[in-house]
Amino acid sequence: MSEALKSSIYDIVVIGAGIVGLSTAWQLLQRYPKYRILLVEKELEVGMHQTGHNSGVIHAGVYYAPGSLKADFCQRGAKATKAFCLQHGIEFNQCGKLLVATNALEKERMEALYLRCQENGLEVHQLDQNQLKEREPNVKGVAALFVPSTGIVSYQKICQKLAELFVQKGGELRLNTEVQNLDESHERVAITLNNDVVHTSYLVSCGGLMADRLTKMLNIPTDFQIIPFRGEYYQLPAKHNHLVNHLIYPIPDPDLPFLGVHLTRMIDGSVTVGPNAVQGWKREGYGRINIDLRDVFDMVRFPGFWKLLMNHWRTGLMETKNSWYKPGYLAQVRKYCDLVSLDDLQAYPAGIRAQAVMNDGSLVHDFLFSQSARTLHVCNAPSPAATSAFPIGAYIIDKLDEQMTSV
């Protein structure tokens, strides 16, 4: 084997330096300290997409079906995230969260969520109207759930620390490097980058909004596609930085994977409102009218997209209207906090969720993975994947371990 070929061969390559890829790469190096491990990221910095455009909440695990990967990963992930922050001096705040019911239907749904919290073994308290007022004088509702363990953090800071540790331990991080093609043979996987070709014994892809395209490069049979859902935020002016003491969430529609517009205390002391969930026309385009022809073409060719539209057209229209009509957006917050006015809604960057949708139009609620003999792909890593990144990484490594012994 020539020296040039030898130097381009890695034991494991990880694609994507969002929080899932970084947590995986860092834990891989701890499990296999002698391996050559490469982490490839197409952007100039780590954590530039979903991980750098989210609410920064360390979720406790309120909503997730008992026994699901989400329920398990979220609870273990919240503990691991806080432990990592403590170990590395990253600021976080366990400010707790209130889920506020504003009418009888929401109270009924809230009670179902209370039972779910109990099934998931979470500490949760039911508050009546007076107890809610005591905790949150500026919030109105008929009842609430109080979850003390929910916290806030900057996931981008966690990513920066993970990247630093990964490189310090001998991992190779290539930024500004896009994976353009993958080719798997019996012995290894060839990876065509924008500036090089490298080879690896094993590959893990954590491509977020591009997850389906990476699996398609290997012709792995899958029956999902990523549909981008914009999450638009506003920021409140500094005079409202102490408007709320906790994170304030509405009671969500149990049929949808999105949590509803909430008041979020951010780790920098500000308060944001959002995010909504609006159909996006560009996977990694953050402006409201960004359109990418390839993204649109892929979407309209996908039968699941049309079925999704048919199933949720009413919600879709409402979300789109409120996206363009600020008073509509405001009404969602004023339902539980009427001190927020139209002038308080100041511009703030949007995020875009990578939501896997199946061919039959159903939204994938849980984490989803796919595999070939030498590759493993994270296909759906929706919220709370930032909270869950450490156990997701450990799960991937266990799966990879099984692959290594069976190949």
Residues lying near ligand FAD in the complex (CB under 6 A)? 15-21, 40-43, 48-51, 53-57, 59, 178-179, 206-210, 231, 275, 351-353, 378, 381-387
In the bound state, the residue with its beta carbon closest to ligand FAD is 18
For ligand FAD, the closer CB: 1 or 347 = 347
Cα–Cα distance between 346 and 326 in angstroms, integer? 11
Convert 2-25 to b/e letters by CB count within 10 Å (16 or more is b): eeeeeebebebbbbbbbbbbbbbb
For ligand FAD, the closer CB: 143 or 159 = 159
For ligand FAD, the closer CB: 142 or 193 = 193
Rounded least distance, CB 312 to ligand FAD, Å: 18
For ligand FAD, the closer CB: 109 or 174 = 174
Rounded least distance, CB 199 to ligand FAD, Å: 16
Rounded least distance, CB 159 to ligand FAD, Å: 8
Rounded least distance, CB 372 to ligand FAD, Å: 17
Rounded least distance, CB 369 to ligand FAD, Å: 12
Residues 20 and 392 sit within 8 Å (Cβ to Cβ): yes
For ligand FAD, the closer CB: 143 or 189 = 189
For ligand FAD, the closer CB: 141 or 351 = 351
Rounded least distance, CB 268 to ligand FAD, Å: 15
Place of tokens 């992930």: 77
Rounded least distance, CB 390 to ligand FAD, Å: 11
For ligand FAD, the closer CB: 96 or 143 = 96
Rounded least distance, CB 406 to ligand FAD, Å: 26
229's tokens: 């859902």
For ligand FAD, the closer CB: 171 or 351 = 351
Which residues, other chains included, contact 33 with Cβ-Cβ below 8 Å and sequence gap of 6+?
Answer: 169, 170
Nearest to 191 by CA among 336, 374, 27, 332: 374
For ligand FAD, the closer CB: 25 or 337 = 25
Give the chain as a 3 state SS string.
CCHHHHHCEEEEEEECCCHHHHHHHHHHHHHCCCCCEEEECCCCCCCCCHHHCCCCEECCCCCCCCCCHHHHHHHHHHHHHHHHHHHHCCCEECCCEEEEECCHHHHHHHHHHHHHHHHCCCCCEEEEHHHHHHHCCCCCCCEEEEECCCEEECHHHHHHHHHHHHHHCCCEEECCCCEEEEEECCCCEEEEECCCEEEEEEEEECCHHHHHHHHHHCCCCCCEEEEEEEECCEECCHHHCCCCCCEEEECCCCCCCCCCCEEEECCCCCEEEECCCEECCCCCCCCCCCCCHHHHHHHHCCHHHHHHHHHHHHHHHHHHHHHHCHHHHHHHHHCCCCCCCHHHCEECCCEEEEEEEECCCCECCCCEEEECCCEEEEEECCCCCCCCHHHHHHHHHHHHHHHHHHC
Rounded least distance, CB 214 to ligand FAD, Å: 6
Rounded least distance, CB 263 to ligand FAD, Å: 13
For ligand FAD, the closer CB: 240 or 353 = 353
For ligand FAD, the closer CB: 143 or 177 = 177
Place of tokens 């979407």: 299
94's tokens: 């366990």
Rounded least distance, CB 353 to ligand FAD, Å: 4
